[in-house]
Structure 1
Amino acid sequence: MAKLLLVVCGLTTLLFARRLPAIEKPLAEMRTPIAVLIAFFAFALSLFWSVAPPAEALESLAKYGKLIMIILMLLLIRDRREAGYALGAFVAAQIFLLGSSWMLFAHVPVPWATSNMALSEYAVFSSYLDQGIISAVFAAICWHFRAYALGRFGRQAALFLALTALANVFFVLSGRSGHVVAIVLLSMAVMWELPKKYRAVVVLLPFLLALGLFFSSTKVRDRLTLVETEVQSYSNQTAPSTSTGIRLDFWLTAMQAIAQHPLAGAGVGSWSTEFNRLQREKNPAHLDIDSNGNPHQEYLMWGVQLGVPGILLLVALMFSIFRDTMKMERHHARATQSVLLALVIACLFNSSIYDAQIGDFFCILIGLLLALGLSKPAIEEGSMPLYEHAT
């Protein structure tokens, strides 16, 4: 209901708000909105051949409707001043989330924590998997925008938040995806700070960081060791029961489904139907998984539904976002590229666009950062609250 209200309010604003004609919007020159509309249209078109029940197909299509949030953010944010307010609201919300997680870790009562993992894994609203990725992205945002922070100690506060968020990922949360995303984003941040002739070190840096964390963080060490154990036991189990084993089983089945429908896929919302069908062919006693599931891999998810062109369409969408970042100033571009890189990595291990919460997070943040980096200054721009030019 909240997402529906957001869309309705956004469209109402576009229809009735008074626009400022002197403010130039570079929307027509961007590639991302076109890529978003093509992707959503492809999923809508696949309704005609989807093997999923109509209700499941429509529900999956609605899940991909969150991509429209990217365009909505670009349309609603009219200038850099408004983008500054939006970024300030984002930062405030992330500080609240990060602080709540640390409170849970310190065993301080957090009445607003609704996650079933709140007491055991210190996740506030979603899972530790989602929150680890979110905190890693927030650390990157704080780092790349540190020069824009307001106040005498704004820069120091931004650095403190970045370090606090990384510590939360590596030493509090157990999400392996979050660990990987944080290591990669940290490596990229270091690379960008190095002179160009030394940037090749980024090839080794993730492995060095992972090695250091392996010996300094029990969370990272235990989760990495668990991956090795689960992979070794996968081939010996008739029914995988571990997180890694289930993922491997899903991925293999997804590739089988893509091989059977390589050109157009099985249609939107077809993953659960296809998985159950293929599993029943191997084991008639197979118990069907719930509807509207996913293979915990976004690329394969698009491939099952739209075939090989679906995978290419997802890559094209990500590349379109990257191309648009090339028009931005350096700090804006690096922040947006960091978020995009986090999405690219997260999609290797999870369906991070299809899933609720983490998918909404990425779509809204990417739209916000594109609007921030590509919007023009307001007509009368004095000092911008929550956001100002770096000195």
Structure 2
Amino acid sequence: MTTLAGETTGQVLWRRLRSPAAWSETVDVFAILTAASLPWSTSLTAIFNAAFLICMVPFLDFKAFLHSLKRPICAAPIALFLLAVAGTLWSDAAWGTRFYAVGPTVKLLVIPVLLYHFERSKRGHWVFIAFLASCALLSVMSWLVAFYPGLSLKPGDPLERGVFVKNYIDQSQEFTLCAIALAYPVVVLLRDKRYWLAGLLTALALSFFVNMAFVVVSRTALVTVPIMLALFALLHLTWRSIAIISAVLLAGAAIAWLASPQLRKTVDTFSRDYRLYTQEKVPTSMGERLVYWQNSIQFFAQAPVAGHGTGSGYGLFDKVSKGDEWVHGVRVFPNPHNQTLHVAVQWGVIGIAVLYTIWILHLLLFRGDGLANWIGLLVVVQNVFTSLFNSHLFDFHEGWMYVIGVGVAGGTVIRAKRGEAKMGDAVPERPLASFLPP
């Protein structure tokens, strides 16, 4: 078989195998597939990410890559992984438990790889688009499952109403990120007077919020949404616009509150869970968190410098659960549902310092204007605040949202800054809307 240029299929394949550009395109494709599969499947995410890493190898400039690892934004995530490995040496947990506890930190090693690749690739925006499109499709499935529960892959759990795959916490994290991330291109489009496209993206953003209001939403998302909206308003809007939009949002929230029993039920669980735990000693989600936070602080005080070691959490909580002060019915987990405390128990002040260094360095990376800066900043802020109630940097789904968001957006930002430095003028990064038809 020959091509139009007279080459056989084998010759074409061989030429592409020897082409750095072809390998770079393949790496981009697997990065896009990783982002697109994240809302749906943990297995596909792992497979596509492995393929992404493998395809990086054939034409990787190892000298340049190793040099890039010296940057603080790359070194800090690596340091947390190395601390987790070192922490196995002073832990009292079984060795299998210690190595298992190292696992959640391994994905942080992908951040430097993504940063390196997307400094050189111009296709970072397609990763964002793929994730947005995938979440939009998941939103449609969520509505279908809400009306036809039999379609769900997780039937039978009332908390998972409207959830097709995974769980309502992961789904709320995705929808929140997508909805608020769209605010930036909407504002840019309105300034450019491209009203129909701004309306389309606004409708898409509202569809995510409507789903969370009437189908299912996590309490963590309810807490973080106002913070993320306030961040956008302070960075990108005038005070007059903030006042107008705040009034509209308050009116919309009031309508959603009156119209959605599901939203009222979710908000009511805050006070209900606290009352049941404090007054009647009934184990609830909030009650469990209070138990774990109180005990985690005590564990941290016992070993404040280097902690109790990697994987020590379950043994510590299991021992305490056999005492009289433990609330009957509270389950035993290795995770205190707070990222700072989870790190503090295992690695003490050293771990906390590394964790906060990661967050601060990545926040500083996204100080400029442009879509990539906005998405990167939003990813970090969301992770920081949701980690008050969960260990989201170590959780699979939210952890990969952070890794992909920071890695792709960070690489895009660095590439744009280098382009500006070479040209000598500030060339603003194109927003997502600029890749769409006029």
Normalising by the residue count of structure 2, what TM-score does the alignment of the two structures yield? 0.74
Superposition pairs of residues 30-109 of structure 1, within 5 angstroms: 30-79=71-120, 81-107=122-148
Whether 1:352 aligns to 2:382 is: no
Shift in CA distance, 338/25, structure 1 to aligned 2, threshold 3 Å: farther
Verify: 1:179 aligned to 2:219, yes or no: no
1:173 to partner: Cα distance: 1.1
Q: Per-residue displacement from partner, 1:271-328 (whole Å, max 9, x unpaired)? A: 111111222244699899566x3111111111111113322322211101011112x4
1:231–1:79 Cα change, 3 Å? same
> Does the 8 Å contact 1:231/1:244 carry over to 2?
yes
Q: Name the aligned partner's letter for residue 133 of structure 1.
A: Q
Q: Which residue of 2 aligns with 1:242?
A: 284
1:26 & 1:139 partners in 2: Cα distance?
Answer: 37
Contact 1:10 1:72 in 2 (8 A): no
Q: Contact 1:271–1:294 at 8 Å: present in 2 too?
A: yes
Given the alignment of the two structures, is residue 130 of structure 1 paired with residue 174 of structure 2, yes or no? no
Cα deviation 1:179-208 (Å, max 9, x = unaligned):
122222223333334326987999999999
Deviations 1:39-78 (A, max 9, x none): 1111111010112211111111111112123223223335
Report SS of the residue matched to 2:311. Answer: coil
TM-fit CA distance, 1:267:
1.1
CA distance in 1, matches of 2:141, 2:418: 35
CA deviation vs aligned residue, 1:72-114 (integer Å, no higher than 9, x gap) = 3223335452212222222221222222112222338646x45
- The one-letter code of the counterpart of 1:142 is L
Q: Is the 8 A contact 2:145 2:162 kept in 1?
A: yes
| 2:169–2:217 CA contact under 8 A, matched in 1 | yes
Q: Choose the corresponding residue for 1:167, options 186, 191, 210.
A: 210
Name the CA distance, whole Å, in 1 between partners of 2:273 and 2:171. 23
- Cα gap change, 1:94/1:116 in structure 2, threshold over 3 Å: closer, same or farther? farther
CA contact (8 A) 1:36 1:317 kept: yes
Q: For residues 200 and 259 of structure 1, do their structure 2 counterparts lie closer, same or farther at Cα, with a shift above 3 Å needed?
A: farther
How far apart, in 2, do the equivalents of 1:92 and 1:201 lie? Answer: 30
1:15 equivalent among 57, 66, 69: 57
Q: Report how many residues are paired.
A: 381
Check if 1:259 corresponds to 2:306. Answer: no
Structure 2 segments unaligned to the other structure (5+ residues):
1-42, 420-429
Determine which structure has more spread, i.e. the larger CA radius of gyration. 2
Distance 1:99 1:203, change over 3 A: closer
Residue 385 of structure 1, CA deviation? 9.8
Separation (CA, whole Å) in 2 of partners of 1:25 and 1:390: 40
- Structure 2 Cα separation of the partners of residues 341 and 116 of structure 1: 34
**Larger deviation: 54-63 or 180-189?**
180-189
Once residues 132 and 237 of structure 1 are traced to their aligned partners in structure 2, the CA distance between those partners, rounded to angstroms, is 30
Aligned counterpart, 2:427: none
Distance in 2 of aligned mates of 1:367 and 1:314: 17
Residues 1:273 and 1:213: Cα distance change in structure 2 (over 3 Å): farther
Aligned AA for 2:293?
W
Q: Deviations over 1:129-166 (max 9, x none)?
A: 221122101112222234788x9954332222111111
Counterpart mapping for 1:96-245 below 5 A: 96-107=137-148, 110=151, 113-114=153-154, 117=157, 120-146=160-186, 153-195=196-238, 214-215=257-258, 217-238=260-281, 240-245=282-287
- Residue 21 of structure 2: aligned partner: none
CA change 1:138–1:37 in 2 (3 A) is same
Where 2:148 maps in the other structure, the secondary structure is coil
Q: Which has the higher contact order (CA 8 A, sep 6+)?
A: 1
1:164 aligned partner, one-letter code: S
Is the aligned partner of 1:333 residue 2:373?
yes
Aligned AA for 1:100? M
Secondary structure at the aligned position of 1:305 is classed as helix
Letter in 2 for 1:53: A
Q: In the superposition, relative to structure 1, how do residues 311 and 332 fare at CA in structure 2: closer, same or farther (>3 Å)? A: same
Q: Which deviates further from its counterpart, 314-323 or 76-85?
A: 76-85
Quote how far apart the aligned CAs of 1:249 are. 0.9
- By how many angstroms is 1:348 displaced? 0.7
1 CA distance for matches of 2:366 and 2:432?
24
Cα separation, 1, equivalents of 2:66 and 2:249: 38
- How many angstroms apart in 2 are the aligned matches of 1:24 and 1:314? 23
1:266 positional shift = 1.0
Asked if structure 1 preserves the Cα contact closer than 8 Å seen for 2:159 and 2:168, the reply is: no
Q: Match for 2:404: what amino acid?
A: I
What is the root-mean-square deviation of aligned Cα atoms in Å? 4.0
Contact between 1:121 and 1:174, CA under 8 Å: does it hold in 2?
A: no
Task: Name the SS of the counterpart of 2:396 in structure 1.
Answer: coil
